Chain A
Amino acid sequence: DPDRKTEVVLLACGSFNPITNMHLRLFELAKDYFHETGKYKVIKGIISPVGDAYKKKGLISANHRVTMAKLATKNSDWVEVDDWESSQSEWLETLKVLRYHHQKLLPPDATNSLEDAVPLTKLGRKRKQEPNRHEPVKKKNQSPDIKSVPQVKLLCGSDMLESFGIPNLWKLEDITEIVEKHGLVCISRAGNNAQKFIYESDVLWRHKNNIHLVEEWITNDISSTKIRRALRRGQSIRYLVPDVVRAYIEKNNLYSPESEDTNAGVLLAPFQKHASDSKN
């Protein structure tokens, strides 16, 4: 069925400390990429800022980070901010966030109503007939049409992909489930190492069909670290972040040498977790 495109939801996890034009570009690039394949339709983008419990150096309160992301996406009709991850009291593995958003997209229990028995999505095609009310209602776990449940894919830059190689940062089984059950969309600069990195990893190589590499031709290296540095030095960040974000930062005086010292010397949550897990 040529009209049936796989629906995709793009999920970006990260500090967003603060959100920048580059973060927002990732979504646009990924969306264009999927549409050009002719096989996918991106229906939603989700920004999920990490919780304060991540304990990254310089990480300011999740409230601010979520607010800034919301301001930045106010005039986007498809990218939104989700604060479920950031409102958890403990740090959560990325896989758990992926699972949560995937779960949210599953159709509700089919026995609840007749309408839910009909597959959720058939894009570009009008329903030719009404569902037969006398047919037994399909139960949720009976042959769900895979194409009708949107896929949640992790959207990231090549830095996140390559962070899979940092010892004890990720669990191998998590990486496996991410690329096997969900998928990765990795945006990187032309001439990057992403392909090589995938080649050198057995698990990534095995699921390389579910890893989409998108090349960014317009060099746009607006890292949050550099933004925070510029702010500490009283330099302008205009045109690198949405203006509403810049105004919010200014108004609340968010980034300073003191804020950059937050969590100094503290072990990053995933490392802490690994250390305590291995003790058990």
Chain B
Amino acid sequence: VRMKSRIPVILLACGSFNPVTNMHMRLFELARDHLHQTGQYQVIEGIMSPVNDNYGKKGLVSARHRIAMAKLALKTSDWIRVDPWESEQETWTETVKVLRHHYNESLRLLQSKKEFMENKHPKERSTGDSLSCQHPVLPELKLLCGADFLQTFKTPNLWKEEDIKEIVEKFGLVCISRAGSDPSQYIKESDLLSQYQHNIFLVKEWIQNEISATQIRSALCRGLSVKYLLPDSVISYIAQHNIYTEESERKNEGDLLQPLKVHSPAGTPLRD
């Protein structure tokens, strides 16, 4: 199967990235390898989208820093980039809206590329990449996540049912899980996810590399080394700006996550 006739895919990862770690970047690499090895897809781009400060998660440091760190981490990558759109919105934005935004952006880009090529070579049929062909294949945008993310669909009031449906139906999920855990079980237990399981790609990570950002922050607060778990440039940045401290860890303490606030039925007391 020629690369040209493969479906172009853009991978979008939403999360706190507080801070970005080698594990986050591994997710992209694993997803790309997996999709390529199906023979049907060509991953053309990876986007890291750090969540808005308004998300209200405990210990979430300013988006300015989280974006800067992600940029440093991705400096050596030729296909993954960080996008600040989500973090620049007035308030927290549902994941499905972020997906829609980036999908529309990719279409817009495709359209302007097409127009550019047509203006340049009005009669020539381009033999270049599929995106500049007369009839380009529309890219698919898929949400990249870990298995724990999939499990959060179960948390009451965290997600809107119709959002989950749109995510798996219109976009698709690429879900990375570690050896020993079985997300397919969880999919079977959910009617909605079962219906769209053809659009949920499960990728197993055999090389365990569970670098949780929470553990990283904890190590940093204790003055322990995190070298080789995050890029050196990110570690320097953190030290330079003294980002993670006991104080930063207390931010939003006791607050409810924004999605829980937004989705709760009015007047119903919510538990954390």
Q: Chain A contacts of B211 at CB under 8 A?
A: 218, 220
Q: Chain B contacts of A221 at CB under 8 A?
A: 207-209
Q: B85-93, B110-118, B156-164, B221-229: which one contacts chain A? A: B221-229
The answer for the CA separation of A242 and B229 in the assembled complex, in Å, is 10
Contacting pair B208 A219 (CB below 8 A): yes
Least CB distance from A1 to B in Å reads 24
Question: Taking CB as reference atom, which chain A residue is nearest B223?
Answer: A32
Contacting pair A218 B212 (CB below 8 A): yes
A: residues with CB less than 8 A from B are: 21-22, 24-25, 28-29, 31-32, 75, 217-223, 226-227, 230, 234-236, 238-240, 242-243
The answer for the CA separation of A197 and B208 in the assembled complex, in Å, is 24
22 contacts between A and B (CB under 8 A): A21-B22, A24-B228, A25-B228, A28-B226, A29-B225, A32-B225, A75-B232, A218-B211, A218-B215, A218-B219, A219-B210, A220-B211, A221-B208, A223-B207, A226-B207, A234-B33, A236-B32, A238-B26, A239-B23, A239-B29, A239-B209, A240-B207
Contacting pair B209 A243 (CB below 8 A): no
Q: Chain A contacts of B229 at CB under 8 A?
A: 21, 25, 218, 220
Q: Which residues between 23 and 41 of chain B lie within 8 Å of chain A, taking CB atoms?
A: 23, 25-26, 29-30, 32-33
Question: Taking CB as reference atom, which chain A residue is nearest B34?
Answer: A235
The answer for the CA separation of A215 and B32 in the assembled complex, in Å, is 33
The answer to whether A236 and B227 touch (CB under 8 A), given A222-B209, A226-B207, is no
Least CB distance from A246 to B in Å reads 10
The answer to whether A240 and B225 touch (CB under 8 A), given A217-B215, A218-B210, A222-B209, is no
Q: Which residue from A32, A227, A230, A239 sits with its C-beta under 8 Å from B22?
A: A239
Least CB distance from A72 to B in Å reads 9
Q: How many residues of chain B have a CB within 8 Å of chain A? A: 27
The answer for the CA separation of A243 and B76 in the assembled complex, in Å, is 8
Q: Chain A contacts of B216 at CB under 8 A?
A: 218
Q: Which residues between 17 and 66 of chain B lie within 8 Å of chain A, taking CB atoms?
A: 22-23, 25-26, 29-30, 32-33
The answer for the CA separation of A167 and B219 in the assembled complex, in Å, is 39
Q: Chain A contacts of B232 at CB under 8 A?
A: 75
Question: Taking CB as reference atom, which chain B residue is nearest A223?
Answer: B207
Q: Chain B contacts of A218 at CB under 8 A?
A: 210-212, 215-216, 219, 229
Q: Chain A contacts of B225 at CB under 8 A?
A: 28-29, 31-32
The answer for the CA separation of A227 and B22 in the assembled complex, in Å, is 15
Question: Taking CB as reference atom, which chain B residue is nearest A29?
Answer: B225
Q: Which residue from A29, A230, A240 sits with its C-beta under 8 Å from B209?
A: A240
Least CB distance from B70 to A in Å reads 13
Q: Chain A contacts of B227 at CB under 8 A?
A: 24-25, 28
The answer for the CA separation of A124 and B236 in the assembled complex, in Å, is 26
The answer for the CA separation of A21 and B229 in the assembled complex, in Å, is 8
